[in-house]
């Protein structure tokens, strides 16, 4: 392994323009495999979910899983792709021990979906990522290399093969070259994978859990000197399997490529491994010559020809897509793109929506989740959704404020009580005695006392300096230990001093 002195990210970007290509594999959540009836459930004993077909035994044949095709079309439609009227599977011929037939049943020049795009939000701006294609294929088995230091095949004493995963349906989604992202390339890459994951989840075709390998990303990156049209040589960083890693991998490769190029070196087209520990990549195998997969149409399968009626039916049944949904909410809630991005990043969209559904006004719901509750989650180092308070409880607090039973300060205390496990909002209010003082008699007395004690201020107000009323309100609030309705207090003060509010 050669250690390259990295160039700083800023210097790299000053000299070069990054071009990315992202290849994302999504394991579909179908009950059975792509070409046989075996279960896709995770966690079974090795090689218990296999049959002649997914083991590639002599004589076995594949049959296409219709749900897999349906999922692929849904993904294609959601990515604004054209859906092929007629397409075929193809054999991708290459050798690997965990691939039972020594060819992968995939698609080549006739993908089910092609020519689409996905818009992503980066720093409040929209960036359009063009989609080259989305195609169907099957997953390989899993190799475990035993006895080596690295867990890779080199140096291993023996290897264990588990074919439970062999034949699980995959959709491979390939972008066109992503140009123009500039210094935001890492953020664009992360935002794209994030958005894609949200999209896949909203379609219900996969849980897309990256930590479970249900969604895997390969990052292709090249640099070209600023002002040069022609793309540079790319590296292919395989299995970058978290959102944060996608961002780090792009950043690292930009810095590494720049260092090599600055030294007058040339980038080798190669596969690279990503390392979670330090965010670096190291060389995998060098592609000395372009791999020749000898693709040809899979003769064991008949072509897939989705009728237009079916495609339109699927289009009609698509859920509101995450970004459209977020834009609608953003408008409903009256937020800027930037504010909405914060809500998304905080993971608060579903919580706020649920709170609104429970009757809270949008601004109030957002105020609590993005303010007090976000602060608490941050302090406690937990996800917002993991706080021990429900959207219904937040909505109840909002309702109590609206009816005047609580003011802002009391509402905060109520939420604190709920988070402390003292019960629901009403229970906390009762237990802690947090009711707003709304008894006009008691309040009137408190106001009279405050005017008497602050004669100079009262005179200023009488003289027309209405703004000075704040001081008297403060005094009343202090006297009532914060349990008064501040707005009502102000009204009473002005009334008693004979001034129009």
Q: Is 421 in the site for other proteins (CB under 8 A)?
A: no
Q: Are 141 and 98 spatial neighbours (Cβ–Cβ below 8 Å)?
A: yes
Member of 39, 60, 271, 390 binding other proteins (CB under 8 A): 60
Q: Which is nearer to other proteins, 121 or 298 (CB)?
A: 298
CA-CA distance, 379 to 480, in Å (whole number)?
A: 31
Q: How far is the CB of 103 from other proteins (least distance, A)?
A: 5
Size of site (CB under 8 A) for other proteins = 30
SS3 294: coil
Q: How far is the CB of 94 from other proteins (least distance, A)?
A: 9
Q: Is 292 in the site for other proteins (CB under 8 A)?
A: yes
| Residue 350, C-beta contacts closer than 8 angstroms, at least 6 positions apart | 385
Which span (62-70, 258-266, 413-421, 457-465) binds other proteins, by CB under 8 A?
62-70
Member of 61, 382, 385, 453 binding other proteins (CB under 8 A): 61
Q: How far is the CB of 149 from other proteins (least distance, A)?
A: 18
Which span (289-297, 426-434, 440-448, 493-501) binds other proteins, by CB under 8 A?
289-297
Q: Is 93 in the site for other proteins (CB under 8 A)?
A: yes
Q: Which is nearer to other proteins, 59 or 381 (CB)?
A: 59
Q: Are 98 and 167 spatial neighbours (Cβ–Cβ below 8 Å)?
A: no
Member of 302, 324, 453, 487 binding other proteins (CB under 8 A): 302
Q: Is 288 in the site for other proteins (CB under 8 A)?
A: no
Q: Which is nearer to other proteins, 142 or 376 (CB)?
A: 142
Q: How far is the CB of 89 from other proteins (least distance, A)?
A: 10
Residue 208 CB coordination number (10 Å): 22
Handedness of CA 11, 14, 16, 18 (dihedral sign): positive
Q: Is 55 in the site for other proteins (CB under 8 A)?
A: yes
Which span (209-217, 295-303, 476-484, 488-496) binds other proteins, by CB under 8 A?
295-303
Q: Are 159 and 143 spatial neighbours (Cβ–Cβ below 8 Å)?
A: yes
Instruction: Give the DSSP per-residue string, 123-147.
Output: TTEEEEEEEEEEEEEE---EEEEES
Residue 325 CB coordination number (10 Å): 15
According to CB under 8 A, which residues from 136 to 165 bind other proteins?
159, 161
Q: What value, to the nearest 5°, has the Cα angle with vertex 368 and ends 366 and 374?
A: 95
Alpha helices in 204-335 (DSSP H): 243-262, 308-316, 322-333
Q: How far apart are the first and last CA of the chain?
A: 76
Q: How many CA atoms lie within 13 A of 353 on its CB side?
A: 13
Q: Which is nearer to other proteins, 59 or 316 (CB)?
A: 59
CA-CA distance, 140 to 154, in Å (whole number)?
A: 20
Member of 43, 264, 299, 441 binding other proteins (CB under 8 A): 299
- With tokens 């800023």, the residue in question is 10
Member of 63, 66, 318, 442 binding other proteins (CB under 8 A): 63
Q: What value, to the nearest 5°, has the Cα angle with vertex 442 and ends 436 and 445?
A: 130
Member of 28, 30, 40, 56 binding other proteins (CB under 8 A): 56
Q: Is 102 in the site for other proteins (CB under 8 A)?
A: yes
Which span (87-95, 200-208, 367-375, 424-432) binds other proteins, by CB under 8 A?
87-95
Query: What are the CA-CA distances from residue 6 to residues 10, 212, 222, 251 (Å)?
Result: 11, 32, 15, 11
Q: Is 404 in the site for other proteins (CB under 8 A)?
A: no
Q: Is 287 in the site for other proteins (CB under 8 A)?
A: no
Which span (90-98, 364-372, 393-401, 476-484) binds other proteins, by CB under 8 A?
90-98
CA-CA distance, 95 to 35, in Å (whole number)?
A: 20
> Which residues here bind other proteins, judged by CB under 8 A?
52, 55-64, 91, 93, 95, 97, 100-103, 159, 161, 290, 292, 294-296, 299-302
């Amino acid at each position: 392994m050669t250690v390259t002195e990295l160039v700083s990210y800023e210097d790299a970007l000053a000299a070069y323009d990054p071009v990315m290509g992202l290849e994302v594999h999504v394991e579909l959540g179908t009950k059975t495999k792509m070409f046989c009836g075996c279960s896709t459930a995770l966690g079974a004993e090795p090689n218990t979910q296999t049959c002649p077909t997914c083991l590639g035994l002599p004589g076995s044949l594949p049959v296409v899983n219709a749900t897999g095709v349906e999922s692929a079309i849904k993904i294609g439609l959601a990515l604004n792709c054209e859906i092929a009227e007629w397409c075929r599977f193809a054999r991708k011929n290459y050798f690997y021990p965990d691939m039972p037939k020594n060819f992968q049943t995939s698609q080549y020049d006739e993908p089910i979906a092609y020519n689409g795009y996905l818009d992503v939000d980066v720093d409040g701006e929209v960036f359009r990522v063009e989609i080259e294609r989305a195609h169907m294929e099957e997953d390989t088995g899993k190799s475990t290399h035993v006895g080596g230091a690295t867990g890779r095949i080199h140096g291993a004493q023996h290897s264990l093969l588990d074919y439970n995963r062999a034949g699980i349906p995959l959709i491979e989604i390939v972008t066109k070259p992503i140009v123009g992202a500039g210094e935001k390339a890492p953020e664009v890459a992360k935002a794209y994978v994030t958005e894609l994951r949200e999209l896949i989840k909203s379609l219900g075709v996969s849980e897309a859990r990256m930590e479970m390998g249900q969604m895997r990303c390969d990052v292709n990156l090249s640099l070209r000197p600023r002002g040069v049209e022609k793309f540079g040589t790319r590296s292919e960083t395989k299995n970058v399997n978290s959102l944060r890693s996608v961002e780090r991998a792009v950043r690292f490769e930009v810095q590494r490529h720049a260092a090599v190029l600055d030294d007058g070196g040339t980038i080798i087209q190669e596969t690279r491994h990503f390392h979670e520990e330090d965010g670096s990549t190291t060389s995998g195998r060098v592609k000395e010559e372009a791999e020749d997969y000898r693709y040809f149409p899979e003769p064991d399968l008949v072509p897939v020809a989705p009728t237009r009626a079916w495609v339109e039916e699927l289009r009609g049944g698509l859920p509101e897509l995450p970004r459209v949904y977020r834009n609608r909410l953003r408008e409903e809630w009256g937020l800027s793109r930037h504010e909405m991005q914060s809500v998304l990043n905080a993971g608060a969209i579903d919580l706020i929506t649920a709170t609104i559904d429970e009757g809270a006004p949008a601004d109030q719901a957002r105020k609590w989740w993005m303010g007090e509750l976000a602060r608490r989650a941050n302090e406690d180092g937990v996800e917002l959704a993991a706080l021990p308070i429900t959207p219904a409880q937040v909505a109840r607090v909002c309702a109590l404020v609206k009816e005047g039973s609580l003011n802002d300060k009391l509402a905060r205390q109520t939420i604190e009580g709920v988070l402390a496990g003292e019960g629901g909002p009403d229970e906390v209010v009762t237990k802690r005695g947090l009711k707003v003082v709304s008894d006009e008699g008691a309040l009137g007395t408190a106001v009279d006392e405050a005017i008497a004690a602050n004669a100079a201020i009262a005179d200023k107000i009488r003289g027309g300096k209405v703004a000075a009323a704040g001081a008297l309100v403060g005094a009343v609030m202090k006297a009532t230990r914060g349990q008064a309705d501040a707005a009502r207090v102000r009204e009473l003060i002005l009334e008693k001093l004979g001034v129009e509010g």
